[in-house]
Amino acid sequence: AYYLRYMKIRELVKCMEYLPNYDYPEIPPLYEQAILFHQARHPEESPNLSGEHVSEKTKRLAATYQKDLAAYMTPRGVNRRAAREGLAEKYAGTFFYYSSFGPMTFGKAFGWDRRGAGASK
């Protein structure tokens, strides 16, 4: 969780070689998303997933997210405010959304705010 929260994705990917030491039936979805994020930015690196693979479901989610995000492109780049609001309902609990819009968006997906878990206004 630390590596995800603080965007230390290279370190998270390196830890995937230890996956067999745990009883995961598959790579957790947020980890899969982070792996795809890393592979997109570092295609020259081949992560050791200890014989596991990123699921087709997560690959489809990544492709759909990219397509939906592209809808917010302008000549000056992504309209971040509109994209953040428009993509939140479908993607707020994903690493793809978090990596695009920052750590506070990840917490808000789970009902947290800047003052901590479960804080109210």
In a domain, 14, yes or no: yes
In a domain, 89, yes or no: yes
Is 120 domain-assigned?
Answer: no
Is 36 in contact with 61 (CB distance < 8 Å)? Answer: no
> Is residue 61 within 8 Å of residue 96, measured between CB atoms?
yes
Number of domains in the chain: 1
The average confidence (pLDDT) of the chain is 85
Residue 104 pLDDT class (50, 70, 90 cuts)? low
Domain that holds residue 55: 2-109
On whether residue 31 sits in a domain, the answer given is yes
Between the CA of residue 89 and those of 22, 42, 104, 109, what are the distances in Å? 32, 29, 15, 9
Does 68 fall in a domain? yes
Is residue 119 included in any domain, yes or no? no
Specify if 117 maps to a domain.
no
Q: What is the pLDDT of residue 110?
A: 46
- Whole-prediction pTM: 0.78
pLDDT in tens, 6-65: 889 999 999 999 988 988 889 999 999 999 999 999 999 988 898 899 999 999 999 999
**Residues 98/106, Cβ–Cβ less than 8 Å:** yes
Q: Is residue 116 part of a domain?
A: no
